Amino acid sequence: MSEYQTPRIIRMRELQTIVGLSRPRLYQLQAEGRFPRSIKLGDRAVGWHSHDVYQWIEDRRSASSEFVQAA
């Protein structure tokens, strides 16, 4: 996971590409507390900490492999 080491801010367009989810779905998951919270960058700009996003992905991957092993 070395490519994810450098902490940075991810904006919406890149976030959608990384996680493969639509904008409404991302905000829905965030509202449900199932996706990392965005941070305000300006009056009309938000972003997400890269570490939080990649940790979320890793958590999904781990949960998925645990499910497969349990079956």
Structure confidence at residue 1 as a pLDDT band (50, 70, 90)? very low
Q: What's the whole-model pTM score?
A: 0.81
Tell me the per-residue pLDDT of 26-55, one tens digit each, with 9 for 90 and over.
999 999 999 999 999 999 999 999 999 999
Place of tokens 């509202």: 31
Burial class of residue 59 in the structure, from the number of CB atoms within 10 Å of its CB (0-12 exposed, 13-18 middle, 19+ buried): exposed
Is pLDDT of 2 > 70? Answer: no
